[in-house]
Amino acid sequence: MGKPTGFMEYTRELPADRSPLERIKDWKEIHLHMPEEKLRTQGSRCMDCGVPFCHTGKLISGMASGCPINNLIPEWNDLVYRGLWRDALDRLHKTNNFPEFTGRVCPAPCEGSCVLGMNNPPVTIKNIEVSIIDKGWEEGWVVAKPPAKRTGKKVAIIGSGPAGLSAAAQLNQAGHTVTVFERADRPGGLLMYGIPNMKLDKKEVVLRRIELLEDEGVKFRCNVTIGKDITHAQLQKDFDAIILCTGATKPRDLPIPGRELKGIHFAMEFLTANTQAVLDGKPHDNFITAEGKNVVIIGGGDTGTDCVGTSLRHGCVSVCQLELLPKPPNERAANNPWPEWPKVYKMDYGQEEAAAVNGSDPRIYTTTATHFEGDENGNVKAVHTVQVEWTKNEQGQFIPKNIPGTEKIMPAELVLLAMGFLGPEQDLLESMNLDRDARSNISAQHEKYTTNIPGVFAAGDCRRGQSLVVWAFNEGRGAARECDRYLMGTTNLP
């Protein structure tokens, strides 16, 4: 490495975020930039560790350990330390089509498996990554690179989320003519409507990259629902191959008494309508406002956090998150050793903002809703909750058990269900007679991505179930490789 003793000389340092009380007044990104000198210092902390677990991308105990797209992290950390930013960008793009996305929204499993992190704060991999690509855009190094020649083969990609975009980028570079079909009014899928603007700016970051893909030859067709506007039979006739990247968009419901009351919504209904309003400068008929309301969010994950941040920006009266699981420990537990993903307590941006406004973390742990209470007009007005304890059943599985005497009533004029997703929507899969696995996902082997229909591939959450954005990029690239092999008999795609 450029500075072998850097990890001993310097401590971990991240750029400051905008003040929580300031940033909840707008929809701009929350992170500030770090001076180049400090970035180079942070790059020097990357140690000559021998076996860089940071880019292994393995599943350990069901969680990602290391980078799923195998970013060459030690190499570009060293290049940043030496001030070779353009070389660092080239090395980053070898494995990652969209580092401006992963550098903003990926939870950074690479940092969780950083060797330095065994006994010191890990290297600031995620911040260095996004700094490399942001500098590349600022310097004009990121430009359209259309393929030198076309193969004459045509590929249809259904879904323009992370998996669809990475598959499109790779296949286009291989020379195929790629058309991406998206049922929403804008391309981007989860990147456009599943992640709020303050985490990932749509116009300055997402659409900028999509416009570059268009300049390279990728075609996007929005407001098109396959099976309704275009049949899958027509797609199979018009294209040489199809890749399904529809995501896992079937939300988990909460069928408890009172679920039919007005004011109870799935989180994505709330977030999607909000982003549309931010982009269009006005709310549409589907807009759901938290203004002046007590908001209860059921689910303590990233989507729940996004609902917290969005509700605060609307001007809610109060906001809380109900989390069924116990509060994580402040340090790694004995059964959660390195290089596993560290299951430790942390405050994400939404919780930080809620704490700045209300004085405390909005999450209430080991708590579940038992029923919703409505008013005389059929609107939700309260959530009845109870604390739970986790015990083993006869099969040895941990299950939540209600604790008598811990019941509470929480006022709520808006309830948002953010409990994850059950898999892909089934209508298209059924109409195509696609084989599915026990969890209703499209049946296609990892690293092969082939379905039971020749020439039809599947990648991302519709194949593996709800997962990280970076796994979708991994699968999109992999499906592109196998699709290219199917079309050409061989492939040079990684």
Q: How confident is the model at residue 199 (pLDDT cuts 50, 70, 90)?
A: very high
- Check whether domain 6-139 has CATH 1.10.1060.10, yes or no: yes
CA separation (Å) from 269 to 82, 259, 363? 46, 16, 21
The predicted structure's pLDDT at residue 247: 96
Q: What is the mean pLDDT of residues 22-26?
A: 98
Q: What is the mean pLDDT of residues 64-85?
A: 96
The predicted structure's pLDDT at residue 54: 96
Q: What is the mean pLDDT of residues 361-383?
A: 98
Q: How far apart are the first and last CA of the chain?
A: 26
Is the sign of the CA dihedral 222, 212, 178, 455 positive or negative? negative
Question: Percentage of residues in the chain with pLDDT exceeding 70?
Answer: 100
Q: Are 427 and 439 in contact (CB under 8 A)?
A: no
Alpha-carbon gap, residue 168 to 460, rounded angstroms: 13
Question: Percentage of residues in the chain with pLDDT exceeding 90?
Answer: 96
The predicted structure's pLDDT at residue 166: 98
The predicted structure's pLDDT at residue 204: 95
Q: What is the mean pLDDT of residues 339-356?
A: 96
Q: What is the pTM of this model?
A: 0.95
Alpha-carbon gap, residue 366 to 280, rounded angstroms: 39
Indicate the fold that domain 154-249+422-488 takes in CATH. FAD/NAD(P)-binding domain (3.50.50)
The predicted structure's pLDDT at residue 18: 97
Residue 18, token pair as written in the block: 């905008």
Q: How confident is the model at residue 50 (pLDDT cuts 50, 70, 90)?
A: confident
Q: Are 161 and 466 in contact (CB under 8 A)?
A: no
Alpha-carbon gap, residue 458 to 444, rounded angstroms: 7
Q: Which residues are 402's β-sheet partners?
A: 388
> In 10 A of CB 487, how many CB atoms?
21
The predicted structure's pLDDT at residue 2: 72
The predicted structure's pLDDT at residue 231: 94
Residue 292: half-sphere exposure toward Cβ, Cα within 13 Å: 0
Q: At what angle do helices 207-215 and 162-173 cross, to 10 degrees?
A: 20
Q: Are 353 and 330 in contact (CB under 8 A)?
A: no
Averaged pLDDT of the chain: 96
Q: What is the mean pLDDT of residues 88-101?
A: 97
Q: Are 316 and 292 in contact (CB under 8 A)?
A: yes
Amino acid (one-letter) located at 170: Q
Give Cα 441 distance to the centre of its chain. Answer: 18
The predicted structure's pLDDT at residue 395: 87
Indicate the fold that domain 253-419 takes in CATH. FAD/NAD(P)-binding domain (3.50.50)
pLDDT, one tens digit per residue, over 229-285 is 999 999 999 999 999 999 999 999 999 999 999 999 999 999 999 999 999 999 999
pLDDT at 430 over 90: yes
Examine residue 339 and say whether the peptide bond preceding it is cis (omega within 30 degrees of 0): yes
pLDDT at 101 over 80: yes
Q: Which residue has the tokens 């050793």?
A: 337
Count, residues in the chain: 494
Q: Exposed (0-12), middle (13-18) or buried (19+): which is 261, by Cβ within 10 Å?
A: middle
Q: What is the mean pLDDT of residues 372-399?
A: 95
The predicted structure's pLDDT at residue 396: 86
Q: CATH 1.10.1060.10 occupies which residues in the chain?
A: 6-139
Q: Exposed (0-12), middle (13-18) or buried (19+): which is 145, by Cβ within 10 Å?
A: exposed
Q: Quick one: three-class SS letters along the chain? A: CCCCCHHHHCCCCCCCECCHHHHCCCCCCCECCCCHHHHHHHHHCCCCCCCCHHHCCEEECCEEECCCCCCCHHHHHHHHHCCCHHHHHHHHHCCCCCHHHHHHHCCCHHHHCCHHHHCCCCCCHHHHHHHHHHHHHHHCCCCCCCCCCCCCCEEEEECCCHHHHHHHHHHHHCCCEEEEECCCCCCCCHHHHHCCCCCCCHHHHHHHHHHHHHHCCCEEECCCCECCCECHHHHHHHCCEEEECCCCCEECCCCCCCCCCECEEEHHHHHHHHHHHHHHCCCCCCCCCCCCCEEEEECCCHHHHHHHHHHHHHCCCEEEEECCCCCCCCCCCCCCCCCCCCCCCCCCHHHHHHHHHHCCCCEECCEEEEEEEECCCCEEEEEEEEEEEEEECCCCCEEEEECCCCCEEEECCEEEECCCEEECCCHHHHHCCCCECCCCCECCCCCCCECCCCCEEECCHHHHCCCCHHHHHHHHHHHHHHHHHHHHCCCCCC
Alpha-carbon gap, residue 424 to 443, rounded angstroms: 12
Q: CATH 3.50.50.60 occupies which residues in the chain?
A: 154-249+422-488, 253-419
Radius of gyration over every alpha carbon of the chain, rounded to an integer in angstroms: 23
